[in-house]
Amino acid sequence: MTTTRTSGWRSDRIGSALRGENPTVLRRLEAGFAVIGDTQFLPGYSVLLVDDPGVQRLTDLPRERRRRFLESMDRLGEAVELACRSADAAFRRVNLEILGNADPYLHAHIWPRYDWEPAELVLRPVWLYPPERWTDQQHALGPRHEVLRCAIGTELDRLAGTRSEGCR
């Protein structure tokens, strides 16, 4: 993926994270970057980005790096679960997915799920939500998500056994 700094962080999510320019980064993990999702129709939605934009699939990684990526995905999933359970009594579970159909780099989706979701969707894959949920500005990542963003980051630090970086 060839992009320049002027393309914006959305067109070069990994490169901008490596340069410290991606505002969605929660923490640098052992095998990538934990980021909060651009859309928050399911509050706490996060993504683990691999730290090498040339890696397209899990099997592109040597076995040890593959293990570290999966461990990082597990850590982010647990942090999202703990933060979302604490923030919303209707928290249900976390879904973890490595799909790779749209973006050409390895990444894992961490989807919190809630009992307040529409009955026809709560037991189904999140990808069945209508397109407007994904693009509606009322669900766009913004300042109102800072408390949850901070909680996920704090949990990531706690699970790593490190002192919390605090909120950014």
- Give pLDDT, residue 61: 96
Residue 123 has pLDDT above 70, yes or no: yes
pLDDT band per the 50, 70, 90 thresholds, residue 8: confident
Tally of CB atoms within 10 A around 30: 13
Encode pLDDT of 58-117 as tens digits: 999 999 999 999 999 999 999 999 999 999 999 999 999 999 788 889 999 999 999 999
Q: What length is written for the chain?
A: 168
N-term to C-term CA, the chain? 29
Q: Where are the domains of the chain?
A: 24-160
What CATH class does 24-160 carry? alpha beta
- In degrees, rounded to 5, the angle at the alpha carbon of residue 26 between the alpha carbons of residues 136 and 7 is 60
Residue 153 has pLDDT above 60, yes or no: yes
- Give pLDDT, residue 2: 37
Residue 3 has pLDDT above 50, yes or no: no
Sign of CA dihedral 71, 17, 137, 147: positive
Question: Average per-residue pLDDT in the chain?
Answer: 92
pTM (two decimals): 0.91
Residue 168 has pLDDT above 90, yes or no: no
Sign of CA dihedral 57, 95, 70, 26: positive
